[in-house]
């Protein structure tokens, strides 16, 4: 009986403790705290949405804030909004992130940066076959190459800063679509997945300079552009993405700075994001031995959960195509004519209705 109790004690207590102790010494880079008060936070895409919320939050925390965006008018509106809310005056810079020379001038004028927060981005949900290659290139140029441009412009001064003992940060705002590919997101997901490769490689390059890289993975966020994006989303994209709720920009900003200040490499923003981050941890850096323990213990069950999600998504895709095919065959075989009023009786999305209407005419 004593042997049975000892075996149970070993299984429940000693092995987990040994794992935690092992991971405590194993995780790299080591934990770090990055202050933002009285430090220069430079935010791209800072004139609206998440970027503006980040600017509000940083100013309220006592940071010196600079924001960069393309539109001078929107930048002035953002500056006035931050001043009105916090009493802090932020610096604004108008530049296109695709233009390295313009970005370099803005960064040099802004002065040494302690937290480079790359929040800029464009998003169009559309099947690749229907998307113009110029639109794909635009997405990649803004979301991915724009980040290269900003980092390339800011990195030399960050490396040669006056106090190298003070940690500094480069944070890139990705997306949950940068953790898992979704129907209609081919170009967008490619640009956001690319940020992860950039971040992982860059962290190894700059860790010796006490520069710490973070990746933020927000879900759909209730921004001015979100409603406009939804108008163009394919029906299947809406079906698959419907399980993920939208967050407020202020909530994303809070999670972002909490993660930056703790030096986290991966920063999820909600419970679904935590699950995605655990499921896709892979070979990414992990500073927290406790989170590393969770990643190790949860890997198997999260893989099962991931397969369940994939089953749900592919079942939805199959059902959607079968429904579409059935209605096309019905229209062809019966040569029926439906009015728009009659179409409302069918449980169809807008694209199905357009398809049936086209065949009917």
Return the active site residues: 174, 188, 192
- DSSP, res 64: E
83 within 8 A of 99, measured Cβ to Cβ: no
Neighbours of 337 (CB within 10 A): 11
Using a 10 angstrom Cβ sphere, with 0-12 exposed, 13-18 middle and 19 or more buried, the burial of residue 209 is: middle
Q: Which two tokens stand for residue 128?
A: 């690749």
Q: Is 318 in a helix, a strand, or coil?
A: helix
Q: Which two tokens stand for residue 262?
A: 């703790």
Chain centroid to CA 284: how far?
Answer: 16
184 within 8 A of 127, measured Cβ to Cβ: yes
The Cα–Cα gap between 138 and 145 comes to 10
Q: Which of 239, 242, 237 is nearest to 126 (CA)?
A: 237
34 within 8 A of 212, measured Cβ to Cβ: yes
- DSSP, res 207: G
Using a 10 angstrom Cβ sphere, with 0-12 exposed, 13-18 middle and 19 or more buried, the burial of residue 84 is: exposed
φ, ψ for residue 119 (rounded to 5)? -110, -5
The Cα–Cα gap between 278 and 168 comes to 25
Neighbours of 9 (CB within 10 A): 11
The Cα–Cα gap between 77 and 55 comes to 13
23 within 8 A of 29, measured Cβ to Cβ: no
Beta bridge partners of 42: 66, 116
């Amino acid at each position: 009986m004593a042997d049975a109790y000892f075996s149970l004690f070993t299984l429940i207590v000693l092995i987990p403790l040994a794992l935690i102790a092992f991971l405590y010494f194993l995780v790299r880079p080591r934990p770090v705290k990055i202050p933002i008060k009285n430090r220069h936070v430079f935010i791209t895409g800072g004139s609206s949405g998440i970027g503006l919320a980040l600017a509000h939050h940083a100013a309220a925390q006592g940071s010196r804030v600079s924001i960069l965006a393309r539109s001078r008018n929107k930048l002035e509106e953002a500056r006035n909004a931050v001043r009105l809310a916090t009493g802090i005056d932020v610096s604004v810079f108008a530049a296109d992130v695709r233009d390295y020379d313009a970005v370099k001038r803005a960064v040099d004028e802004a002065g040494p940066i302690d937290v480079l927060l790359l929040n800029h981005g464009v998003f169009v949900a559309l099947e690749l076959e229907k998307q113009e290659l110029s639109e794909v290139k635009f997405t990649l140029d803004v979301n991915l190459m724009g980040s290269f441009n900003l980092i390339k412009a800011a990195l030399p001064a960050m490396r040669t800063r006056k106090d190298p003992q003070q940690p500094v940060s480069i944070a890139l705002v990705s997306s949950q679509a940068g953790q898992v590919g979704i129907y209609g997101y081919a170009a967008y997901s490619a640009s956001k997945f690319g940020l992860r490769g950039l971040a992982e490689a860059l962290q190894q390059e700059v860790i010796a300079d006490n520069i710490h890289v973070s990746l933020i993975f927000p879900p759909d966020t209730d921004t001015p552009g979100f409603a406009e994006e939804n108008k163009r989303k394919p029906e299947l994209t809406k079906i698959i993405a419907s399980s993920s709720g939208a967050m407020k920009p202020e909530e994303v900003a809070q999670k972002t700075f909490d993660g930056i200040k703790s030096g986290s490499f991966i920063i999820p923003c909600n419970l679904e994001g935590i699950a995605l981050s655990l499921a896709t941890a892979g070979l990414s850096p992990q500073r927290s031995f406790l989170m590393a323990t969770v990643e190790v213990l949860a890997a198997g069950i999260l893989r099962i959960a991931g397969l369940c999600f994939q089953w749900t998504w592919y079942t939805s895709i199959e059902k959607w195509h079968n429904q579409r095919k059935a209605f096309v065959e019905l229209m062809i075989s019966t040569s029926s004519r439906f009015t728009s009023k009659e179409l409302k009786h069918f449980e169809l999305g807008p694209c199905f209705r357009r398809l049936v209407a086209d065949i009917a005419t």
